[in-house]
């Protein structure tokens, strides 16, 4: 590998770096002035009775300033990378790849979508004898097992078709639904395409029947809450098998690990570690592609693109994974829920790539298997030492030794099927990890439900690096949330996991001090872990200034005061810098406005409930849980999303806080303008609070519209409006007693 020419080039976006660093410096000086005003000037002016509310406002400003400082590290040194895949070695010298596809719920993750992901993975442009696809069925569904068998059957015609005609859109559903045909082939192509489409319709019909019948009678296995391991090598084909002489077919393996309610299964991280062990004794490929079940391959060349990094002699020794950005095929033009997570994958991750690399993002990454085995594992360890880390399987330990010695595995699928199936089942048992370091130091880590963030963080702490591969054509496409309820439920789960890390001994700012992680990278990790803390300033600033406005108590400097300029500058500086980030990365003013709105909504819901959930779990009052995001599409909700209309068919626990705060600000703004500004003429000293309420109302106009103007199915229910109004008056009543 050392003799390979450079396969990639990295350039720094100097202009963006200069803008960010200059803005950060000026903004930080303004923050210091603001803190000086609060602590030295303002503290002397306020009455003792108001001190608790002053403290909450000060804490809010402190948290916002702290998070803003951490956030600036993301784009301190953004980079762009260029690839030279034509310089890769010949196919017979490329390393092997194992593809992991995970599904956990046959209801929320329909079999057709999962199988499309599997088929797209099977069709990647890579030597087929060097690719093995594994499907982890953590839901233990007979329907999924039958579906993967049918996928293999359809794959026998789909994969040769893709390779013969150079199909780029290798996900069957995406291929047949596309308005354009990227191939534009001749008569042979069109004839074959029509034949394949008929085969695909029959394939879909067979899946539909299997779904309706709950699988098939000849599945050969039984599933339930307590179930045994099921491992099946679909098709039982050797690596060299051919389909009618047209193209080789790669290997497909179905894995459903043992489940027992008396043993923890550690959610997705546990499933991935089972795949890591089972794949170790089947194929033991040195590289792993991880895909969520709804994230299909959209560019067959992604593996070769990733190898431009993994095989580049300059960066390969310390490179743990190549992260592709998550892209989604169902994002509307306006993306009112920020479902594309644009800020992460378009703004922040390229900036982190200029440090020691982006965070691990759950899917769409090519990981070096050796990186998952930890840096403490070395070539001179004997079997007894390795068993303390990896468990008691000698067969698996031999594959570990092969991996850490950078040797290729020569085990063939047929040999494995005949001789080692029982060992694979043992590796997938729920007791195998006992008295080992799986989930602690080895594999995907268990300390948080956001196993991707935490595992990547520990890897970076140990000295591994990562890179972002962001080609013009999206390498992978998935389906994102298209309604408010799923967006907030998903956000709650993520933020609960992030807060778990923040409150643990692995807090990035503290734990990172003991590691080799640079300060700026540590700040990036700390920002994401601390992101749930936005809930505190969001709640405080949506209530306390408003209550003070109603009682004529000024929170911010007078308009005539020079200190008012400091607050004005910080407000405009934050908005304008984020606008620049959005526009500079291809977004629009509407994108910027929508993302601000979603940030406010998430701050008082997903961030708040995520933080609360983490605190409850921290004190042992609740066990960790994992709810897969719903992949079943509601046509009415999807139609409203595509039209840019908010759908408030969501849990009352999520909607009531939003509506309550909006109603409170409506009352505060109206009463404040009429009584305090018009009648009493106190615009100068209360302008900051009047403007704050106005800004909150303008940003959250869709909520006002959903309460008052809309009567469709997606509007805010009358019961929610009445309950929120009652809660608003309760807050006002309590505020009238304590805020004087």
Helix extents (H) in 123-242? 142-165, 172-177, 187-213
Whether 456 and 277 have beta carbons less than 8 Å apart is answered as: no
Q: List b or e across 253-276, with b for residues whose CB sees 16 or more CB atoms inside 10 angstroms.
A: bbbbbbbeeeeebbbbbbbbbbbb
30: Cα separation from own chain's centroid: 33
Return the SS3 of 307: helix
How far is 574 from 649, CA to CA, in rounded Å? 32
**Catalytic residue of the set 299, 452, 486, 613:** 452
Whether 720 and 655 have beta carbons less than 8 Å apart is answered as: yes
The answer to whether residue 613 is catalytic is: no
Whether 252 and 235 have beta carbons less than 8 Å apart is answered as: yes
555: Cα separation from own chain's centroid: 38
The total of other beta-carbon atoms located within 10 Å of residue 43's CB is 13
**181 assigned ligand-binding residue:** no
Indicate the Cα dihedral angle 165, 168, 169, 175, nearest 10°: -20
The total of other beta-carbon atoms located within 10 Å of residue 408's CB is 12
User: Residues 6 or more apart from 592 whose CB is under 8 A from it?
Assistant: 578, 579, 582, 583
**Catalytic residue of the set 138, 228, 486, 613:** 138
- Classify burial at 164, counting beta carbons within 10 Å of its beta carbon; exposed 0-12, middle 13-18, buried 19 or more: middle
Assign residue 708 a region: left if phi > 0, alpha if psi is -120 to 50, beta otherwise?
alpha
DSSP state of 41: I
The answer to whether residue 138 is catalytic is: yes
Residue among 258, 652, 592 nearest 424 (CA) = 258
Three-class secondary structure assignment of 339-370: CCCHHHHHHHHHHHHCCCCCCCCCCCEEEEHH
- In order, the DSSP letters of 450-508 are -HHHHHHHHHHHTT-EEEE---SS-SEEE----SHHHHHHHHHHHHHHHHHHHTSTT-H
**577 assigned ligand-binding residue:** no
Indicate the Cα dihedral angle 90, 92, 93, 98, nearest 10°: 120
> What radius of gyration do the chain's Cα atoms show?
28
Strand 131-137 vs strand 251-256: parallel, antiparallel, or unpaired?
Answer: parallel
Residue among 98, 95, 494, 96 nearest 290 (CA) = 98
**292 assigned ligand-binding residue:** yes
The total of other beta-carbon atoms located within 10 Å of residue 385's CB is 14
How far is 143 from 160, CA to CA, in rounded Å? 26
Residue among 459, 466, 409 nearest 95 (CA) = 409
How far is 600 from 648, CA to CA, in rounded Å? 16
Per the DSSP assignment, residues forming a β-bridge with 12 are 79
**423 assigned ligand-binding residue:** no
**108 assigned ligand-binding residue:** yes
Count H helices, E strands: the chain? 29, 15
- Classify burial at 51, counting beta carbons within 10 Å of its beta carbon; exposed 0-12, middle 13-18, buried 19 or more: exposed
What are the catalytic residues? 138, 452
Numbered residues of the known binding site for UDP-alpha-D-glucose: 108-109, 138
Numbered residues of the known binding site for Mn(2+): 268, 292
């Amino acid at each position: 590998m050392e003799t390979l020419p450079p396969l990639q080039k990295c350039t720094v976006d100097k202009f963006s770096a200069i803008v960010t660093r200059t803005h950060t410096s000026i903004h930080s000086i303004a923050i210091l002035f603001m803190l000086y005003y609060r602590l030295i000037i303002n503290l002397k002016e306020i009455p003792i009775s108001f001190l608790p509310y002053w403290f909450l406002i000060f804490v809010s400003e402190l948290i916002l300033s702290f998070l803003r400082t951490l956030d600036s590290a993301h784009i301190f040194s953004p980079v762009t990378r260029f690839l030279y895949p034509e310089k890769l070695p010949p196919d017979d010298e490329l390393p092997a790849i194992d593809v992991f596809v995970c599904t956990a719920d046959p209801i929320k993750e329909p079999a057709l979508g999962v199988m499309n992901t599997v088929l797209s993975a099977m069709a990647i442009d890579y030597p087929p004898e060097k690719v093995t696809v594994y499907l982890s069925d953590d839901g233990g569904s007979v329907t999924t097992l039958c579906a993967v068998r049918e996928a293999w059957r359809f794959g026998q015609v789909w994969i040769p078709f893709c390779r013969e005609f150079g199909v780029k859109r290798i996900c069957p559903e995406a291929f047949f639904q596309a308005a354009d045909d990227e191939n534009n082939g001749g008569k042979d192509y069109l004839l074959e395409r029509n034949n394949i489409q008929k085969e695909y319709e029959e394939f879909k019909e067979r899946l539909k029947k299997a779904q309706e019948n709950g699988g098939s009678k000849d599945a050969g296995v039984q599933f339930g809450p307590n179930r045994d391991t099921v491992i099946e090598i679909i098709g039982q084909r050797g690596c060299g098998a051919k389909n009618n002489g047209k193209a080789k077919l790669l290997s497909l393996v179905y894995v459903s690990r043992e489940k027992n309610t008396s043993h923890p299964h550690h959610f997705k991280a546990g499933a991935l570690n089972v795949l890591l062990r089972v794949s170790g004794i089947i194929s033991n490929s040195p590289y792993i592609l991880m895909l969520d079940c709804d994230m299909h391959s959209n560019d067959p060349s992604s593996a070769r693109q990733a190898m431009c990094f993994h095989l580049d002699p300059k960066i390969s020794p310390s490179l743990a994974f190549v992260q592709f950005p998550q892209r989604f095929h169902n994002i509307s033009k306006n993306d009112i829920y920020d479902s594309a997570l644009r800020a992460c994958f378009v703004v922040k991750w390229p900036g982190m790539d200029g440090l020691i690399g982006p965070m691990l993002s759950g899917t769409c990454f090519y990981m070096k298997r050796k990186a998952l085995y930890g840096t403490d594992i070395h070539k001179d360890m004997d079997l007894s030492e390795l068993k303390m880390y990896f468990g008691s399987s000698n067969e698996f330990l031999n594959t570990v030794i092969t991996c850490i010695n950078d040797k290729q595995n020569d085990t063939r699928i047929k040999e494995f099927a005949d001789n080692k199936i029982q060992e694979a089942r043992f590796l997938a048992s729920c007791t195998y990890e006992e008295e080992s370091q799986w989930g602690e130091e080895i594999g995907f880590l268990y300390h948080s439900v956001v196993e991707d963030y935490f595992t990547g963080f520990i890897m970076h702490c140990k000295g591994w690096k990562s890179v972002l591969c962001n080609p013009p054509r999206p390498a992978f496409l998935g389906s994102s949330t298209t309604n408010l309820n799923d967006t907030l439920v998903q956000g709650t789960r993520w933020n609960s996991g992030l807060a778990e890390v923040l409150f643990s001994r692995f807090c990035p700012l503290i734990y990172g001090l003991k590691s080799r992680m640079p300060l700026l990278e540590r700040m990036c990790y700390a920002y994401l872990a601390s992101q749930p803390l936005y809930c505190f300033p969001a709640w405080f600033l949506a209530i306390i200034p408003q209550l003070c406005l109603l009682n004529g108590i000024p929170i911010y400097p007078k308009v005539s005061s020079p200190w008012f300029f400091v607050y004005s500058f910080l407000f405009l500086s934050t908005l304008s810098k984020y606008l620049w980030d959005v526009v500079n990365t291809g977004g629009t003013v509407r994108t910027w406005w929508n993302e601000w709105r979603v940030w406010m909504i998430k701050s008082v819901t997903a961030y708040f409930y995520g933080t609360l959930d983490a605190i409850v779990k921290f004190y042992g009052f609740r066990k960790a849980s994992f709810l897969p995001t719903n992949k079943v599409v509601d046509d009415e909700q999807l139609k409203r999303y595509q039209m840019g209309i908010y759908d408030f068919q969501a849990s009352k626990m999520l909607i009531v806080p939003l509506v309550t705060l909006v109603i409170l600000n409506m009352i505060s703004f109206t009463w404040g303008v009429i009584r305090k500004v018009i009648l009493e003429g106190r615009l100068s000293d209360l302008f900051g609070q009047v403007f704050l309420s106005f800004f909150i109302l303008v940003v959250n106009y869709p909520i006002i519209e959903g309460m008052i103007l809309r009567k469709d199915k997606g509007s805010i229910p009358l019961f929610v409006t009445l309950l929120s109004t009652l809660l608003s008056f309760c807050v006002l009543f309590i505020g009238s007693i304590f805020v004087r």
